[in-house]
A and B are shown apart, each in its own frame.
Chain A
Amino acid sequence: GGIITQTPKFLIGQEGQKLTLKCQQNFNHDTMYWYRQDSGKGLRLIYYSITENDLQKGDLSEGYDASREKKSSFSLTVTSAQKNEMAVFLCASSMGQPFSNERLFFGHGTKLSVL
């Protein structure tokens, strides 16, 4: 079976700082996603990518950049961390076209805290 690895597991930043989260998958999946998980709000899509070098904005893309330089990796950058921001960022991947009947495989998440 495959695995999705997210690094780091925990990330503490300062207000205004640029922060980068990384995600690697060895499923050989075409599509990768970044979701933000806030307590009581479910998961909200930040960016997704259907192939290497492709980027598509989700509902929550403002304040974030993404990069898919290889099929196996998808990174997310918080362009300017907001004070007291706290959330979990989940990376996921799936076979074929996005948002189809194919299941998503998720990483364990990166927990962000901004001081």
Chain B
Amino acid sequence: AQSVTQPDARVTVSEGASLQLRCKYSYSGTPYLFWYVQYQRQGLQLLLKYYSGDPVVQGVNGFEAEFSKSDSSFHLRKASVHWSDSAVYFCAASITSSGQKLVFGQGTILKVYL
């Protein structure tokens, strides 16, 4: 079955450190790929999205993600995190399987400590 997997339920890093949040998808084609962020008591907001072209896409607040077809991955990165980046991050893939659907990963809780 088509799925999106975020293998890390929680990630803790110190402020100023680099960050990678992992996302793997299971789908034979190339889906539309998204990263969303959910700050406490708020809805999800789009960080970035990818469909084709340059495999590295830039998003808001210094985030970027790299698509890898060979690895079926879409990992999110940031060179230097800030305490305000603490939130839940969701990877999502829009796929065509018995109709179009948007599948979300389980989410990764990011804690940035000072």
- Could you tell me which A residues sit within 8 Å of B by CB distance? 4, 40-45, 90, 92, 97-101, 103-109
Contact = CB atoms under 8 A, between A and B. Distances in A.
Contact of A98 (B41, B49, B100): B100
Contact of A45 (B9, B32, B46, B102): B102
B87 to A, nearest CB: 13
Given A41-B106, A44-B104, 13 more contacts: A40-B106, A42-B90, A45-B102, A99-B94, A99-B100, A101-B49, A103-B34, A103-B46, A104-B44, A106-B45, A108-B41, A108-B43, A109-B41
Contacts, number: 53
A45 B92 CA distance: 12
Given A90-B43, A109-B43, A42 B94 contact: no
17 contacts: A40-B9, A40-B106, A42-B90, A42-B106, A43-B90, A90-B44, A97-B100, A99-B94, A100-B32, A100-B94, A101-B32, A101-B49, A101-B51, A101-B94, A103-B34, A105-B43, A109-B43
Q: What interface size band does chain B fall in?
A: 20 to 34
B34 A4 contact: no
B51 A42 contact: no
A105 to B, nearest CB: 8
A9 to B, nearest CB: 9
Contacts of B94: 99-101
Contact of A103 (B4, B49, B90, B100): B49
